[in-house]
């Protein structure tokens, strides 16, 4: 059976999840991923997974209002037995054999209420949507059938490590609305004396003279994460998963400029998994206060450890059910 996976180009989280899923699916299916080739090269992917370049910024209102061209793109390519989409609902416009993996829809967030999207939602309503069990938006939960799954990947650390004392300042790879504020924060850190704790900075903002202040370039590899106790992040689900899977305490910063991030920050707070701040500097001050409070950090570690993990295997079961009995899949 041939399976196509369509990964959103917004940030890295969608591609990360799709790679995890593809690496498992390729053991049973012929798998092709459509995504940004530049971004997917950041991940380890099974050699038997085919990769085809596909980039479209379907998360901007002016693009959505002009009618998305995703379904037309697939008309020009080979046919597949199943299409998995994270998180482009547009594929359902012409492909009845599609499964949407999504916590939210951009056309809902951006209030694009065209007949085109009404038709897409009508088609999607006849099949389940697969969201994360904590971060599914109220809109999707209310209007569609859902099959919630756990976080993709496994919980990486079995024991809480007291010697971790690093702080991560992560700003994401999606469109950056905090650029000036981030630079102001870095300039403020440079004016202060050398940080007591190592602070890891987003590579695109790192400068060589920062090392003398105990500020380091974030590498986002296991070596860096193994030293991180607290992460200050823009709460995209990919970065959230990276931190939770390692039991890292999460501090977020949102100020109503991104509805996805605002919602995710609220979910983190609701489940006692994170604390939100309006300013990066406020989050950084709090991080310095709690970095030595091992009891507080261990509590966050245990909460993350007890979440539902390995969600990609739940998705695979849904896919297998589809191929075994399509009528059962639609119920």
32: β partners: 4, 50
Phi, psi values for residue 13, rounded to 5°: -60, -40
CB 194 within 8 A of CB 213: yes
pLDDT at 174: 47
CB 115 within 8 A of CB 126: no
pLDDT at 302: 97
> Considering the entire predicted model, what is its pTM?
0.91
Which domains, and CATH codes, for the chain? 2-153+310-329 (3.40.50.2000), 166-305 (3.40.50.2000)
Residue with the bigger pLDDT between 175 and 74: it is 74
Confidence check: pLDDT of 133 > 90: yes
pLDDT, tens digit (0-9, with 9 covering 90-100), for 248-291: 999 998 877 788 899 999 999 999 999 999 888 899 999 999 99
CA distances from 50 to 16, 34, 38, 145 (A): 15, 9, 14, 31
HEC string for the chain: CEEEEEECCCCCHHHHHHHHHHHHHCCCCEEEEEECHHHHCCCCCCCCCEEEECCCCCCCHHHHHCCCCHHHHHHCCCCCCEEEEECCHHHHHCCCCEEEECCCCHHHHCCCCCHHHHHHHHHHCCCCEECECCCCCHHHHHHCCECCECCCCCCCCCCCCCCCCEEEECCCCCCCCCHHHHHHHHHHHHHCCCCCCCEEECHHHCCHHHHHHCEEECCCCHHHHCCEEEEEECCCHHHHHHHHCCCCEEEEECCCCCHHHHHHHHHHHHCCCEEEECCHHHHHHHHHHHCCCHHHHHHHHHHHHCCCCCHHHHHHHHHHHHHHCHHHHCC
Cβ-based neighbours of 282, under 8 Å, separated by 6 or more: 253
Q: Which of 169-178, 196-205, 221-230, 308-317 has the lowest mean pLDDT?
A: 169-178
pLDDT, tens digit (0-9, with 9 covering 90-100), for 233-243: 989 999 999 99
Please give the average per-residue pLDDT across 59-64, as a whole number: 69
What span, in angstroms and rounded, lies between the C-alpha atoms of 283 and 291? 12
Nearest to 197 by CA among 290, 92, 128: 290
Confidence check: pLDDT of 173 > 70: no
Phi, psi values for residue 85, rounded to 5°: -130, 125
pLDDT, tens digit (0-9, with 9 covering 90-100), for 300-328: 999 999 999 999 999 999 999 888 876 55
């Amino acid at each position: 059976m041939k399976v196509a996976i369509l990964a959103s180009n917004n940030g890295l989280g969608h591609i990360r999840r799709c790679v995890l899923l593809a690496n498992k699916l390729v053991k049973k299916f012929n798998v092709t991923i459509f995504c940004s080739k530049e971004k997917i090269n950041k991940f380890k992917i099974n050699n038997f997974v085919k990769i085809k370049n596909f980039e479209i910024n379907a998360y901007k209102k002016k693009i959505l209002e002009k009618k998305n061209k995703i379904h037309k793109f697939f008309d020009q390519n080979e046919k597949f037995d199943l299409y998995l989409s994270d998180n482009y609902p547009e594929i359902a416009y012409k492909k009845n054999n599609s499964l949407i993996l999504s916590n939210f829809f951009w056309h809902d967030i951006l209030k694009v209420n065209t007949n085109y999207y009404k038709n897409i939602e009508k088609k999607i309503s006849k099949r389940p949507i697969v969201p994360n069990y904590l971060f599914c938006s109220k809109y999707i939960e209310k209007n569609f059938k859902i099959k919630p799954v756990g976080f993709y990947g496994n919980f990486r650390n079995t024991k809480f490590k007291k010697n971790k004392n690093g702080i991560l300042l992560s700003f994401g790879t999606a469109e950056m609305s905090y650029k000036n504020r981030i630079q102001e924060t870095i300039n403020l850190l440079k004016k202060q004396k050398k940080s007591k704790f190592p602070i890891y900075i987003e590579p695109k903002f790192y400068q060589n003279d920062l090392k003398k202040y105990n500020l380091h370039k974030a590498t986002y590899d296991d070596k860096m994460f193994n030293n991180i106790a607290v992460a200050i992040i823009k709460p995209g689900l990919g970065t959230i998963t990276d931190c939770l899977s390692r039991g890292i305490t999460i501090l977020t910063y949102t100020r109503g400029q991104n509805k996805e991030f605002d919602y995710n920050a609220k979910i983190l707070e609701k489940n006692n998994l994170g604390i939100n701040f309006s300013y990066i500097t406020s989050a950084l001050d709090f991080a310095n206060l709690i970095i030595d409070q091992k009891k507080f950090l261990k509590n966050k570690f245990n909460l993350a450890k007890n979440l539902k993990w390995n969600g990609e295997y739940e998705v695979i079961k849904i896919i297998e059910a589809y191929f075994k009995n399509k009528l059962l899949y639609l119920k």
